[in-house]
Amino acid sequence: MKLEDLQPAAGSKRKDKRVGRGVGSGHGKTSCKGHKGQKARSGGTKGPAFEGGQMPLQRRLPKRGFKNNFSVEFAIINLKDINTLKDMDIITPEALLEKGVIKNLKSGLKVLGEGEIQRPVTIKADAFSASALAKIAAAGGKAEVV
């Protein structure tokens, strides 16, 4: 097989229409674009948002809200959820992710103080609420900030 013998499979490629190559070709003079007007010019149309010179919708509607690019969003877990994990003594974000307790770790894990914890456990997380720290210490456990 030689390089000059290579060709696409039969029926996989159609030839481009050759326009503007004389009146006898059937696609000459106006190159299948009709007569004059915006659609006959080079550059074609104005794009999907163009409304004929009227102020486009995305510019008529007011801008609202603010997105803080530096905000930190935590995956959260409550003490009542930790209390249900009887077989775990050391609780880490990776272990919770593996067990399916949290779906997405986001920027880290934050432990909140809703519910009670009855046994001493070591919890490793990125942040703790004040009430969660107090309840963990009262149960004899440890809270470690990772």
Query: Within a domain: residue 89?
Result: yes
Give exposure, 100-125, as e/b (b: 16+ Cβ within 10 Å). Answer: ebbeeeeeebbbbbeeebeeebebbb
Longest dimension (CA), the chain: 94
Backbone conformation region of residue 100, classed left if phi is above 0, alpha if psi is from -120 to 50, else beta = left
What is residue 1's predicted lDDT score, i.e. its pLDDT?
Answer: 82
Q: Residue 93: name the closest of 113, 123, 70 by CA.
A: 123
Query: Is residue 88 domain-shared with residue 129, that is, in the same domain?
Result: yes
Structural domain that includes position 38: 20-54
Query: Within a domain: residue 14?
Result: no
Query: Within a domain: residue 63?
Result: no
pLDDT in tens, 66-78: 999 999 999 999 9
- pLDDT at 45 exceeding the cut of 90: no
How many domains does the chain divide into?
2
Query: Is residue 95 domain-shared with residue 133, that is, in the same domain?
Result: yes
Query: Within a domain: residue 10?
Result: no
Task: Give the torsion through C-alpha atoms of 131, 132, 134, 136, to 10 deg.
Answer: 160
What is residue 127's predicted lDDT score, i.e. its pLDDT?
Answer: 96
Query: Is residue 42 domain-shared with residue 104, that is, in the same domain?
Result: no
Query: Within a domain: residue 60?
Result: no
Who's near 102: CB < 8 A, 6+ residues apart? 75, 77, 93, 96, 109
Query: Is residue 82 domain-shared with residue 50, that is, in the same domain?
Result: no
Query: Is residue 90 domain-shared with residue 124, that is, in the same domain?
Result: yes
Strand partners, 111: 77, 128
The pairs formed by 96-104 with CB atoms below 8 angstroms and a separation of 24 or more are 101/77, 102/75, 102/77, 103/75, 104/75
CATH number at residue 91: 3.100.10.10
Confidence of residue 9 (pLDDT cuts 50, 70, 90): confident
What is residue 39's predicted lDDT score, i.e. its pLDDT?
Answer: 87
Query: Within a domain: residue 129?
Result: yes
Query: Within a domain: residue 101?
Result: yes
Query: Within a domain: residue 107?
Result: yes
Measured between alpha carbons, how far is 77 from 104 in angstroms, rounded to an integer?
12
